[in-house]
Each structure stands twice: as C-alpha cells, then as structure tokens.
Amino acid sequence: GCRVGKAHCPVIYMSPQGQTLSESSVVDMTEYDGMIILCGRYEGIDERLLSQYVDMEVSLGDYVLTGGELPAMVLMDSVIRRLPDIMGDDKSAEQDSFVDGLLDCPHYTKPHEFAGMAVPEVLLSGHHANIAEWRFRQQVERTQTRRPDLWQTFTPTPEQAKWLKALAKVDKKHR
C-alpha cells in the first residue's frame, strides 16, 4: 500500500491474473481514501514491483487486452458511481444489476407504444406493490435465462423468498 498524507491508498494492479471485479468488491473499494491503479502493457509489470508494492490484482474477466488502461477506467467508473452524491439519486445504484444478486428488470420510457410493442400495463397502473412484484419476476426470469451462474448462487432476502414462493404458486396454477 501507499500513504498519501494520512490516507491509505491501496495499490491495485489491473491484471488478467487478478480476482475478477464484482459488485461487492466495488462496494468495498468505495471505503478507500483513494486508490493507486497500475496498468501494465503487453507482458505486465516487473514482478519485484508486484511483490513489494501491489496490494491486489484485479481482472475484468478471462481475457487479455493490450494494456490495463481500459480496465482501470472500468474500475474507476464502477467505484465512482457508487460514491455519495455522484448519481442524481443515490438509491439508483442500489437497484442495478448484481447488487442483490439478480440482473436488473427491463426499463421503459415514452412513447407508450414503439414499433408495435407497448409498455407493460402493470407499469402504467400506478399500483406500486404490483409493479414491484412484476419487476422482481422479470429479474428472476432474466437471471435464470441469461445468467444461470448467478441464479445458482443467488440467496434471496426474506422478502424475496416470500415473493419466490408466491411466484411458484402462480406458476403452478398456470400449468
């Protein structure tokens, strides 16, 4: 690590060999006073620097880029957007994909109909409980379909567990 004044700033090396960046690690990084991000080129950086000064290696996934600059920008953006007062509504980041272990639900805007496709009626109803249930159902279906790996590790909150039980009953009736 490194000290800048009284602040401890971990030294992070962007590397395909590092731990894969996740939403939970991003949230942890918002607690840092700052970060020093090292970006290698082609073959990386000197091993002596890694072993002596680097606190953690972070990867975006199982692939290699020409340098660490793009992953560093992704890391910075994902951490900065979680800081207070950055987004118009701090709660927005809490409703994004991955925060609760599920993908996000679909979003719609005006016009009501576009290319023959309408906004789902439940979203126009003004009935907040029905809207919340619809969104949760969409999150579950999207996660099961698009990211079964996330679904397998999903641990529902007590409220989500109740909704899942209710959804299972509804699904049985419609079979």
Please indicate whether residue 43 is annotated as part of the active site: yes
Given the residues 23, 57, 69, 96, select the one marked as catalytic.
Answer: 96
Please indicate whether residue 137 is annotated as part of the active site: no
Given the residues 16, 71, 82, 137, select the one marked as catalytic.
Answer: 16
Please indicate whether residue 16 is annotated as part of the active site: yes
Q: Rounded to the nearest 10 degrees, how much is the dihedral formed by the CA atoms of 153, 158, 160, 163?
A: 130
Please indicate whether residue 121 is annotated as part of the active site: no
The one-letter amino acid at 77: D
Given the residues 10, 23, 55, 81, select the one marked as catalytic.
Answer: 81
Given the residues 31, 43, 47, 85, select the one marked as catalytic.
Answer: 43
Helix axes 158-173, 128-146, angle to 10 degrees: 80
Locate 28 and state its tokens: 């942890």
3-state SS, residue 57: strand
Identify the sign of the CA torsion 104, 87, 94, 152: positive
Q: How many residues does the chain have?
A: 175
Catalytic residue numbers, as ranges: 16, 43, 81, 96
